[in-house]
A and B are shown apart, each in its own frame.
Chain A
Amino acid sequence: MSDSMVQVKNVTKVYERGKQKVEVLHGLTLDIPKSDFVALMGPSGSGKTTLLNLIGGLDQPTSGEVLVGGARIDQMSSGQLAHWRAHNVGFVFQFYNLMPVLSAEANVELPLLLTKLSAAQRRQNVGVALQVVGLTDRAKHKPRELSGGQEQRVAIARALVSDPQLLVCDEPTGDLDRTTADEILGLLQVLNREHGKTIVMVTHDPKAAGFARRILHLEKGQLLEQAA
């Protein structure tokens, strides 16, 4: 049985912008074991976010294979991918992307509306997720009433609440000050080391990348090197 959580095999991604075709990833191959914490670094336009989107099932490769948890997500329809994402991956974005009209706990509960859990069970799971990120006392607050770090914690709780094995983070500390960023990265480390979550994180920040177990560098759509 494979120990891999993510397998990317000879993947190419080409975007069409009008009449222009832009090849963002060139025959990229990558293996991420379970419970790994990988940071993807590289200059703008190197393909990091594109690779992240493919791993997270937000986009499809032009060619090649993408396996996550043993499932060939490159062959799934958009409906199948939506269902797969709901149960297998959690997303954390640079700008949090919380629903401004919902409280923190309602934001965290959103993914659970796709499950068959009762309202009571959903509330319980939300409580646990908020406890993990240390925000139980801010559950009723709307995003505008939270600091940036608190908003990102809510976003992480939302990503965790369905108990996915894979967390995909796109510049999670890009909008935070150093202290808050370290807190968030520390939380991701805890999720990785103590809860066994596999984390793939895109970052420009070498200090942020230092929290990961491995650092992968991309340039012009290809993996250059791996650093421990």
Chain B
Amino acid sequence: MTKSGFVIANMFRKRTRTILTLLSVIMAFVLFGLLQSINSMFSAGADFVGATRLMTQARVSFTQPLPVSMLPKLESIPGVARVAHSMWFGGIWQENTPLFVFSVDPLRYRDVYPEYVMPDAQWQAFAHTRTSMVAGKLLADQYHWKIGQKIPISSNIYPQKNGSKSWAFDLVGIFDGKDDAWRRQTNVAFINSDYFDEANGFNAKGRTNFFILKLTDSQHAESVSKTVDAMFENSPDETKTQTERDFNLGFVKQVGDIALIVDWILFAVFFTLLLVVGNTMAQSVRERIPELAVLKTLGFSDGSVLGFVLAEAFALCLCGGLVGLLLATALGAMVEKGTGGQFQVALDARVWLIGIGAIVAMSILVGLLPALRARRLRIVDALAGR
């Protein structure tokens, strides 16, 4: 038997209580790990490393359209292989089911997104049929769409020239993703921008929400980004060019101040955890007052008894915290893989360090008061049950 063995034995004196407390700590640290990673993701600066595509939008907001006439200028920039454009259509399927529908130039879109896989005949049909639409496999399977069907879709933004928001498109193709990660992104549909330009009642002809710039080499990402924005600086259509990842994150940031929301969630989680684990420790020490007095009679000093209680608190928080952080690491890696690297929520060294710091801080906070009580107890009074 060792002192640490004694601490572990006491930790599991009430097995169910300890397991439930451990589960609470584990859940809290899973949330902590994932949310801290999300926080890091949103706080991190632009990272152009490995980016093969850039997104150019209006500097003010992507909701402010840019003129498609910018496209030749963008394609003339060294390092840019091909440029496509995309406009948010805002589709509604049947009663109230929102869809991701974009208005695009079919062949340009094909060129910048080779990851979307579709027979060339279907791409050509998309390019040459005015009222055409192509849908991702996930979307088509979900609503049982078949090629040749006329798909009625409403727009929550754009009416037709006749004022009706009800549109109908001919499904001429169904595209898949080149791998699992891209297959998961086939929950979108595209319509022909020529038809959309001609038929929409907002006179949004020749406008687009964003350009997609396919690069010749990912090493040019940062320089191309700066060149694009410099090209249109002080023009009526100032731009903001960023990686696809940062562009996607920008959508989420529309929800609100993600960092602040995350901080408040973590505060609530850890405050609750402090109460739960603190209560467990206080209860545990209360139950053991005579035993702690006996330890002192055997010759363990006040400091040793304090140390035993603090060690127990630390062991509880460490076990739960480490398991939680490991689970968060695994889950984060799964999310990152599942989104094809778009959402990098895998825990890095920084989050682990903060996590370990949180474990230590929590151990002290939940263990200190019970430990001080143990330290201060008088042998004679404790043994007499006073």
Q: Provide the main secondary structure of the chain A interface.
A: helix
Contact assessment for B296 and A82 in the assembled complex, using a CB-CB cutoff below 8 Å? yes
Chain B residues in the interface with A (C-beta under 8 A): 1-3, 5-6, 9-10, 12-13, 290-291, 294-303, 379-380, 383
Given the complex of chains A and B, what is the CA–CA distance between A51 and B9 in angstroms?
34
**In whole Å, how far is B362's beta carbon from the nearest beta carbon of chain A?**
24
Contact assessment for A83 and B9 in the assembled complex, using a CB-CB cutoff below 8 Å? no
Contact assessment for B297 and A58 in the assembled complex, using a CB-CB cutoff below 8 Å? yes
Q: Which 6 pairs from chain A and chain B are nearest by CB?
A: A86-B299, A101-B9, A106-B1, A97-B294, A82-B301, A85-B299
**In whole Å, how far is A13's beta carbon from the nearest beta carbon of chain B?**
10
In the complex, the chain A residue whose C-beta lies closest to that of B303 is A79
Q: Provide the main secondary structure of the chain B interface.
A: helix
**In whole Å, how far is B186's beta carbon from the nearest beta carbon of chain A?**
57
Contact assessment for B302 and A110 in the assembled complex, using a CB-CB cutoff below 8 Å? no
Residue A91 is within 8 A (CB to CB) of chain B in the complex: yes
What are 13 of the A-B contact pairs (CB < 8 Å)? A79-B302, A82-B302, A85-B298, A86-B298, A93-B294, A97-B290, A99-B9, A99-B294, A100-B291, A101-B12, A106-B9, A114-B299, A119-B2
Supposing A109-B1, A113-B2 touch, asked if A82 and B13 sit within 8 A by C-beta, the answer is: no
Contact assessment for B380 and A82 in the assembled complex, using a CB-CB cutoff below 8 Å? no
Supposing A97-B294, A110-B1 touch, asked if A102 and B9 sit within 8 A by C-beta, the answer is: yes
A85-B298, A100-B291 known; 20 new pairs, CB 8 Å cut-off, are A58-B297, A58-B380, A58-B383, A59-B379, A59-B380, A78-B301, A79-B301, A79-B302, A82-B299, A82-B302, A83-B301, A86-B300, A97-B294, A105-B1, A106-B5, A109-B1, A110-B298, A113-B2, A113-B3, A114-B299
Supposing A99-B291, A101-B9, A102-B9 touch, asked if A91 and B297 sit within 8 A by C-beta, the answer is: yes
In the complex, the chain B residue whose C-beta lies closest to that of A98 is B294
Contact assessment for A101 and B1 in the assembled complex, using a CB-CB cutoff below 8 Å? no
Residue A111 is within 8 A (CB to CB) of chain B in the complex: yes
**In whole Å, how far is A25's beta carbon from the nearest beta carbon of chain B?**
13
Residue A217 is within 8 A (CB to CB) of chain B in the complex: no
**In whole Å, how far is A14's beta carbon from the nearest beta carbon of chain B?**
14
In the complex, the chain B residue whose C-beta lies closest to that of A85 is B299
Chain A residues whose C-beta falls within 8 Å of the C-beta of B383 in the assembled complex: 58, 93, 97
Residue A189 is within 8 A (CB to CB) of chain B in the complex: no
Chain B residues whose C-beta falls within 8 Å of the C-beta of A78 in the assembled complex: 301-302
Chain A residues whose C-beta falls within 8 Å of the C-beta of B295 in the assembled complex: 110
Chain A residues whose C-beta falls within 8 Å of the C-beta of B12 in the assembled complex: 101
Given the complex of chains A and B, what is the CA–CA distance between A93 and B379 in angstroms?
13
